[in-house]
Amino acid sequence: MRGAYVVSDSWPFFNRSSCSGNEELTHVGRPCCSDFHVDVDVRSFETVEGIDNLIECVQEACARHLASGISSERTPLLNPILRGLKEDSIQSVIVLRKYFKFITVSSHRKALSRLLSADHFLAVERYRHITYDNGQPIPRCERRCRYCRVFVEDEVHVLFHCSALQLLVARRQKLFARVNVLIGETAGNDLRHLCLSDSPRAVHRFLDHPDLCPTFAKYVFDILKFFPL
Residue 229 CB, shortest distance to Zn ion, in Å, is: 17
- Complex with Zn ion: residue 125 or 211, whichever CB lies closer: 125
**The residue type at 23:** E
Task: Tell me, residue by residue from 139 to 178, as one string, x for binding to Zn ion by CB under 5 A and - for no binding.
Answer: ------x-xx-------------x-x--------------
The phi, psi pair for 131, rounded to 5°, reads: -120, 165
- Complex with Zn ion: residue 119 or 153, whichever CB lies closer: 153
**What's the first-to-final CA gap in the chain, in angstroms?**
31
- Complex with Zn ion: residue 147 or 206, whichever CB lies closer: 147
Select from 169, 188, 165, 166 the least CA-distant residue to 177: 188
The interface with Zn ion within residues 109-138 (CB under 5 A) comprises none
**CA angle 103-106-107, nearest 5°?**
110
Residue 82 CB, shortest distance to Zn ion, in Å, is: 25
- d(C-alpha 108, C-alpha 82), whole Å: 23
Q: By the 8 A CB rule, do 205 and 83 touch?
A: no
- Complex with Zn ion: residue 4 or 148, whichever CB lies closer: 148
Query: Using CB under 5 A as the criterion, which residues of the chain lie in contact with Zn ion when the complex forms?
Result: 145, 147-148, 162, 164
